[in-house]
Structure 1
Amino acid sequence: MKKYIILIIAFLFSALCLNVFGQTKSYPFEVLKTGKGKQSIIFIPGFASSGEVWKDTKIAFEKDFTCYTLTMSGFAGIQPQPNPSFENWKNGIAAYIKDNKIEKPLIIGHSMGGGLALAIAADYPDLIGKIVVVDALPCLAALSDPSFKSKENNDCSATVNQMTDMNETQFYDMQKQMMPRLLQDSSKLEIVVSWSVKSDRTTFGQMYCDFFNTDLRDKISTIKCPSLILLESYFINLKPAIETQYANLKTADFKYANKGLHFIMYDDKDWYLAQLNTFLKS
Structure 2
Amino acid sequence: MIVRFVIALMFAASAPAFAADAPPITSNRFAATLVPAERFDIGAMQVERHGKGKRALILIPGLASGSWAWQGTARRFMGEYSVYIVTLPGFDGRAPAPGKQMEAAQRALAQLIDTRKLVKPVLVGHSLGGVLAFSLAAQRPQDIGGVISIDGLPVFPGAEDLTPRQREQMAQQLARRMVPGDQRAFAAQQQDYMRGIGVMDMARADELAKLSARSDPGAVLQYMAETFAMDLRPALSKISAPVLLIAPYFDADASTHELTEETKKAYYASLIEAAPTAQVVTVAPARHFAMIDQPEQVNEAIARFLKNL
Instruction: Tell whether the structures are fold-level matches, with TM greater than 0.5.
Output: yes
3-state SS of 2:141 partner: coil
Larger radius of gyration: 1
Instruction: Indicate whether 1:206 and 2:222 are aligned.
Output: yes
Question: CA contact under 8 A between 2:199 and 2:286: conserved in structure 1?
Answer: yes
**Alignment partner of 1:231 is 2:257:** no
Out of 60-69 and 188-197, give the one that drifted further. 188-197
Deviation at 1:144, TM superposition (A): 2.0
Q: 1:149 to 1:183 in 2, by over 3 A?
A: same
What code does the residue aligned with 2:264 have?
L
Question: Matched residues in 1 for 2:298 and 2:49: separation?
Answer: 22
Find the aligned partners of 2:160 and 2:172 in 1 and give their Cα distance: 25
Point out where structure 1 has 5 or more consecutive residues left out of the alignment: 1-23
Q: Is 1:120 aligned to residue 136 of structure 2?
A: yes
CA distance in 2, matches of 1:278, 1:242: 20
Contact 2:61–2:70 at 8 Å: present in 1 too?
yes
Q: SS of the counterpart of 1:126?
A: helix
Displacement of 1:245 after TM fit? 1.3
Mean Cα deviation higher: 35-44 or 170-179: 170-179
Corresponding residue for 1:135?
A: 151
Report deviation, 1:48: 0.6
CA RMSD of aligned residues (A): 2.4
1:164/1:233 CA distance change after superposition, 3 Å? closer
Q: Does 1:249 align with 2:275?
A: yes
The alpha-carbon deviation at position 146 of structure 1 amounts to: 3.2
Partner of residue 23, structure 2: none
Q: Is the 8 A contact 1:123 1:222 kept in 2?
A: yes
Partner Cα separation in structure 2 for residue 274 and residue 32 of structure 1: 23
SS of alignment partner, residue 142 of structure 2: coil
1:30 maps onto 2:30 in alignment: no
Contact kept in structure 2, 1:86 and 1:207, CA below 8 Å: yes
Closer/same/farther in 2, CA of residues 239 and 159 from structure 1, 3 Å limit = closer
TM-score normalised per structure 2: 0.76
Are residue 266 (structure 1) and residue 297 (structure 2) matched? no
SS of 1:78's equivalent? coil
Match in the other structure for 2:117? 101
The equivalences for 1:135-174 within 5 A come to 135-140=151-156, 143-151=157-165, 165-174=180-189
Matched, 1:275 2:301: yes
Residue 15 (structure 1) aligns with: none
2:60 alignment partner AA: I
Does 2:205 align with 1:189? yes
Residues 83-113 of structure 1: CA distance to partner in whole angstroms, max 9, x if unpaired?
2422232232112211221111111100000
> Quick one: distance in 1 between partners of 2:163 and 2:110?
26
| Cα shift at 1:194 | 1.9
- Give 1:147 shift: 1.8
Shift of 1:51: 1.3
User: Secondary structure in 1 aligned to 2:104?
Assistant: helix
What is the identity, as a one-letter code, of the residue corresponding to 1:199?
S
Q: Contact between 1:44 and 1:114, CA under 8 Å: does it hold in 2? A: yes
Q: TM-score, normalised by structure 1?
A: 0.83
Q: Closer, same or farther in 2 for the Cα pair 1:225/1:263, shift >3 Å?
A: same
Which piece of structure 1 moves more, 88-97 or 103-112? 88-97
Percent sequence identity is 27
1:249-269, Cα deviation, whole Å (9 max, x unpaired): 121111011211111101112
The aligned length equals: 257
Whether the 8 Å contact between 1:49 and 1:71 is mirrored in structure 2 is yes
Residues 225 and 241 of structure 1: CA distance in aligned 2, closer, same or farther (over 3 Å) = same
Indicate conservation of the 8 Å contact 1:130/1:227, yes or no.
Answer: yes
Q: After the TM superposition, which of the residue ranges 180-189 and 46-55 deviates more from structure 2?
A: 180-189
Q: Helix, strand or coil for the counterpart of 2:164?
A: coil
One-letter amino acid of the structure 2 residue matched with residue 260 of structure 1: A
Deviation at 1:139, TM superposition (A): 0.4
Closer/same/farther in 2, CA of residues 66 and 163 from structure 1, 3 Å limit? same
Unaligned runs of 5+ in 2: 1-39, 251-260
Instruction: Give the residue type in structure 2 aligned to 1:146.
Output: E
Q: Which moved more, 1:85-94 or 1:264-273?
A: 85-94
8 Å CA contact 1:106, 1:130 repeated in 2 = yes
Please state if 1:53 is matched with 2:79. no
